[in-house]
Amino acid sequence: ERGVQIPRPVGHGPSSFIPEHEIVPPETDDEQTRQLFVDAFLQNNRLENITSVMGFHPQYLESFLRLQHYLLRLDGPLPQDYRHYIGVMAAARHQCSYLVDLQESEFLMQDGDPDWLKGLDYIPQKLKNLCELNKILAHRPWLITKQHIEQLLRGNDSWSLSELVHAIVLLAHFHSLASFVFGTGINLEIDHECGHTLQPASLSEGANDVEAHHSNSVASSLETCEPGVEMLMHRMKKIQEAADLQEISQEEMKQRFEKVEKQSLELLPGQSACSECLAVSDYAKYRDDPNFHYEDFAKRGEERTIPTFRAQDYSWEDQGFSLVNRLYSDIGQLLDDKFRMAYNLTYYTMGPQKDVDTTMLRAAIWNYIHCMFGIFHDDYDYGEVNQLLDIKLKSFIKTVTCYPERTTRKDYDNFWKEFKHSEKVHVCIMVLEARMQAELLYALRAIMKYMT
């Protein structure tokens, strides 16, 4: 009436992949979820879209918020401005403007120097020295050596060991969180420069959105013969029966792992995302060596130069947990709680089926993600991966894990058509956590080698 332009969100709801009416609302009747939303709002001065989508799984959301609050807000080796700037650097590796923008805002609220937001040429040398580790950890963590650790801990502008561990956990946290953001199609917050529009809503806009979701679901129901829920349950039963009858040699276990590794080479990601928002974003100023990206651990036709990471030689439970807890008090327990929650989370359902033990399926997803980082669990039969994860699910997992910025709505819609959105979000949570654990295992092993 008075000619005042009122901004409105560009996207419909927290996610561009999940219909808004299916996402848990802030006024939910579930008391635990509602209280978590209140706590998140008080922590962040807003209910972020990412929190709303995680609201499908309140038990996990609680452990996630607890760890993030500890990492970013509570007492720790690093000053507040460093913590948020490291978040910016980490998110920028995957061109995740959603996280970059949030962390830039937090950085300024913590009295960070605005000049730092001009790019890496304007930050202290100590932070700049972290760029190499950030790059490797984000894309090829198996390349981290004790020499990388030594360079950061010695000389001018050096890090203390506790500061470096805090920084590494922050880097791994935001790298893997970028996977979740892209994997679940998180929409930009309304105050992001690309998250709002001043144009009035058209009458057809909302209807078109609903119609698109409806047509997708109709197409899904007409689509034939990708392995459905019942087929998956049948395969799990057959695997269990076979396991009761035979033992597999260690040599055979290793061969099955290598087969899964080689098959992963055939899964090619889509092209780089080319949205209007990415085009105007200037996250490149926070990235050095922008052409450095993920490459398959096992390369086709090449002799293996880096040995497979054997989990029995260095595991999170036996070595990583105690080392990180010793160098950054209590973080190990918070990480462990979050890893276990993501791995063990179940409602005993698969799509429409109830009273289903999903342990086998969750193990296949977790170990497949680790496989892409060259991590071998000698007590796991990798033959189960090929029986339980179809090609569309594998392709989605690889894209979200290794090239998250290339994830599309089609990738999300294409897998698990009979499953609920909450179950697809759980897959993305497992990507987040298994990826984070993989990055930490390589970094903590390098620290251990430096210390000994």
Q: Residue 7 CB: number of other CB atoms within 10 A?
A: 12
In 268-330, where does DSSP find H-type helix? 276-280, 321-327
> Contact at 8 Å (CB) between 371 and 259?
no
> Contact at 8 Å (CB) between 324 and 335?
yes
Cβ within 8 Å of residue 338, ≥6 positions away: 60, 63, 64, 67, 433
> Contact at 8 Å (CB) between 443 and 323?
no
- Gyration radius of the chain's alpha carbons: 22
27 burial (CB, 10 Å; 0-12 / 13-18 / 19+) is exposed
> Contact at 8 Å (CB) between 449 and 382?
no
Rounded to whole angstroms, how far apart are CA atoms 293 and 287?
12
Which phi and psi (to 5°) does residue 42 adopt? -70, -35
Distances (CA, A) of 7 to 50, 104, 198, 425: 21, 21, 5, 29
Q: Residue 268 CB: number of other CB atoms within 10 A?
A: 9
Can you say how many angstroms the Cα of residue 76 is from the centroid of all Cα atoms in its chain?
A: 23
Quick one: which of 163, 128, 164 has its CA closest to 146? 164
Distances (CA, A) of 51 to 62, 251, 331: 10, 44, 21
Amino acid letter for position 255: Q
274 is catalytic: no
The residues carrying an active-site annotation are 96
